[in-house]
Structure 1
Amino acid sequence: MSRTRILTAATALASVLALNSTAFAQSGEVNLYSYRESKLLQPLTDAFTKDTGIKINVVSASSGLEQRIKAEGANSPADLLLTVDIGRIDEAVQAGVTQPIKSEVIDKIVPAQYRDPDGHWAGISMRARVIYASKDRVKQDAITYEELADPKWKGKICIRSGQHIYNNALFAAYVAHHGEAKAEEWLRGVKANLAQKPSGGDRETARDVAAGKCDLGIGNTYYWALMMDKDPDKKPWAEATKVILPTFAGKGTHVNLSGLLLVKNAPNRANAIKLIEWLAGEQAQKIYADANYEYPVRAGVAINPTIAGYGKLNADTLPVAKIATNRKAASTLVDKVGFDN
């Protein structure tokens, strides 16, 4: 093919892509890439469309959405990315596929500790990393994260991999509060108290507590609620345990986020901002948090009764962004102490 024909073909392709991009922008819709299943989002998407007339197109996947957006480049149809955990949120920012969310509504409603200082993400709900304790063998109803390294719990703790993003965030928060040296000492203490090699997921942790393999398990708030309310086969694991909301000494309970990021080349940016702001509203906050057994980030919104049954959440005031900055240090410490060995 001659150089002239190559240039002509390239120009034609660029024109087609530009037209496609324009079509996305003129569609009156918003394209949401989500790590949450479409069926879980449908009550929200239906309500938003009813309120605004704007249709939401959901692309759901269990992994790889950041890479997909990056590969699609400037012509990506994605407007928003919905993901969970500060680890995944931070990975999307580091991939360079986001832009700042400029919204006075979000700045007013969403507390600063649940927003990116540079504006690239905002939390829409919270989950906490808590203790599943044996009802029969654990009499206390309060515990600190620091206490998990106390020798009195030797051979009595179950947990999933220390490198899993949920534990990485908890350990990163510990680093943020106490520094790397004390975090290393603490991790060695927790490792010494493990009943078995870290394995499985949070549900399996509850299973092992119920089976008497350990007295304490570490898991997220919503797993216990899902077992209790939605999974008859696993309900006995929840019934054998109680949820304790631990705290950092003198502080609050470690929380993480489900968050939204505005995609760098969002073709429907105005509609995307409308959706973000709508999700911070009272109606959406209740629907989303209730459906996912999470805590609303907006103050004054009713909490799901099962979650409320854990007791009042005194959330740690550590900015979630500081957890992101300590993720690498936490991961390094997990390997250094041989936590998963």
Structure 2
Amino acid sequence: MKKLRIFMMCLLVVMLAACGNQSPKESTDQNQKDQTASDSKEVNLYTSRHYDVDDELYKKFEQETGIKVNIIKGEADELLERIKREGDATQADLYLTADAGRLFRAKEAGVLQPVSSEMLDRHIPKNFQDEDQMWYGLTKRARIFIYNKNKVKPEDLSTYEALTNPEWKGRILIRSSENVYNQSLLASFIEIDGEEKAKQWAEGIVHNLARKPEGGDRDQAKAVAAGIGDVAIMNTYYFGQMLNSEDPEEVKLAEELGVFFPNQDSTGTHVNVSGAGVVEGSKNKDNAVKLLEFLSAKEAQATFAEANYEYPVNEEVNPTELLQSWGDFKEQDIPLSSLGDNNAKAIMIFNEVGWQ
């Protein structure tokens, strides 16, 4: 027992000596590391939105908060893969992209974390939030009809489903099925009417196409103006950009076209969002939440609407005058998370019906 007591006392002396041998620099470095984790003045944003108005808002946020926004831009899927590949070592704090379907993919990939914020709940309606608070919508757009005023009257139009009728054969323009906006549109039909009716719609549109799908949304509108087809399905903000383009020819083409919101007497027009979620393992989570809150507030929402012709999700902010001139419209009443839930089914249907 005496030998054991002596051994324990020696061991204690060695341990105390080791602690005392830690240099002041090592101790200071550790304290600085802990302080940096809690007092960081930066946030790393991975975004697939490439708009000047977004950059202006980030600068405004920096001025108001003193938090530096480090912006990494790229395509949505590439950025998501990068975050997944980087794992715990990722520097990403906030992932921002267009379409609820893409946000759903990020959630399913396990790269987002839940965020609880009274300000976000106050600014963003529940139907534009993820049900588990993994992401929040920041801007809204509707998928509408653009039509040739010389060939189509507003009373000729009614619903998405009606475009599959025989009188529209060879007259419909829409982009590829690989586009996530179309995938989400079909996913919304699956949610509302089931897979079989959604498949019938997709088959009908393929049968009535004016040409093989090519180009983006604005290319569909230009093709309508050129007489290739009579009706295009596209997002509202693209048409707003055309009407306010710096290219006089694009403005002239857009002015020849009309706007129609489908399904106003039934299920409502399809809507989607751009939105963002805080990345799992974020090193600057508090700052990421602050940036989200800033983008959901009145000033930023009004800037989004005015500069990019997107509908604000914050109900205290009015759409820009151009969007108001198109009138109020009834929206689909479905949770946006269903667009992600039904994405794989939508892609399968597109492949089955030969929508290229």
TM-score by length of 1: 0.89
Q: Residue 225 of structure 1 aligns to a residue in which SS?
A: helix
Which residue of 2 is the match for residue 62 of structure 1?
75
Matched, 1:43 2:56: yes
Structure 1 ranges of 4+ moved more than 3 A: 19-26
The structural deviation recorded for 1:20 is: 8.2
Identity %: 39
Matched, 1:210 2:225: yes
Question: 2:160 corresponds to which letter in structure 1?
Answer: Y
Determine the C-alpha separation between the residues in 2 that align with 1:256 and 1:31.
25
Matched, 1:244 2:260: yes
Which residue of 2 is the match for residue 12 of structure 1?
none
Which residue of 2 is the match for residue 316 of structure 1?
332
Which residue of 2 is the match for residue 76 of structure 1?
90
Which residue of 1 is the match for residue 105 of structure 2?
91
The structural deviation recorded for 1:307 is: 2.2
Superposition map of 1:88-167 within 5 A: 88-140=102-154, 142-167=157-182
Which residue of 2 is the match for residue 331 of structure 1?
347
The structural deviation recorded for 1:332 is: 0.7
Determine the C-alpha separation between the residues in 2 that align with 1:336 and 1:53.
52
**Residue from 195, 200, 203 that aligns with 1:188:** 203
Matched, 1:265 2:278: no
Q: Is the 8 A contact 1:157 1:193 kept in 2?
A: yes
**Gap runs ≥5 in structure 2:** 1-28
Matched, 1:28 2:44: no
Task: Note the alpha carbon deviations across 1:41-81, whole angstroms, 9 max, x for none.
Answer: 12211222232222222111124111222222223221101
The structural deviation recorded for 1:38 is: 6.3
Q: Is the 8 A contact 1:69 1:78 kept in 2?
A: yes
Q: Residue 96 of structure 1 aligns to a residue in which SS?
A: coil
Q: Residue 132 of structure 1 aligns to a residue in which SS?
A: strand
Q: Is the 8 A contact 2:264 2:329 kept in 1?
A: no
Which residue of 2 is the match for residue 13 of structure 1?
none
Question: 1:174 corresponds to which letter in structure 2?
Answer: F
Determine the C-alpha separation between the residues in 2 that align with 1:59 and 1:223.
24
Determine the C-alpha separation between the residues in 2 that align with 1:339 and 1:152.
20
**Gap runs ≥5 in structure 1:** 1-15
TM-score by length of 2: 0.85
Which residue of 2 is the match for residue 3 of structure 1?
none
Determine the C-alpha separation between the residues in 2 that align with 1:300 and 1:106.
13
**Deviates further, 262-271 or 37-46:** 37-46
Number of equivalences: 323
Q: Is the 8 A contact 1:24 1:77 kept in 2?
A: no
Determine the C-alpha separation between the residues in 1 that align with 2:90 and 2:221.
41
Question: 2:118 corresponds to which letter in structure 1?
Answer: E
Q: Is the 8 A contact 1:157 1:217 kept in 2?
A: yes
Structure exhibiting the larger radius of gyration computed from Cα positions: 2
Determine the C-alpha separation between the residues in 2 that align with 1:174 and 1:165.
14
Q: Is the 8 A contact 2:42 2:284 kept in 1?
A: yes
The RMSD of aligned alpha carbons is: 2.0
Question: 2:66 corresponds to which letter in structure 1?
Answer: G
Determine the C-alpha separation between the residues in 2 that align with 1:297 and 1:202.
22
The structural deviation recorded for 1:320 is: 0.6
Determine the C-alpha separation between the residues in 1 that align with 2:183 and 2:304.
25
Q: Is the 8 A contact 1:123 1:297 kept in 2?
A: yes
Matched, 1:253 2:285: no
Determine the C-alpha separation between the residues in 2 that align with 1:167 and 1:183.
12
Task: Note the alpha carbon deviations across 1:121-175, whole angstroms, 9 max, x for none.
Answer: 0001101111110011111255211211122211111111123111111011011
Which residue of 2 is the match for residue 295 of structure 1?
311
Q: Is the 8 A contact 2:123 2:314 kept in 1?
A: yes
Determine the C-alpha separation between the residues in 1 that align with 2:51 and 2:148.
35
Question: 1:280 corresponds to which letter in structure 2?
Answer: S
Residues 207 and 20 from structure 1, CA distance in 2 versus in 1: closer, same or farther, beyond 3 angstroms? farther
Determine the C-alpha separation between the residues in 1 that align with 2:349 and 2:139.
29
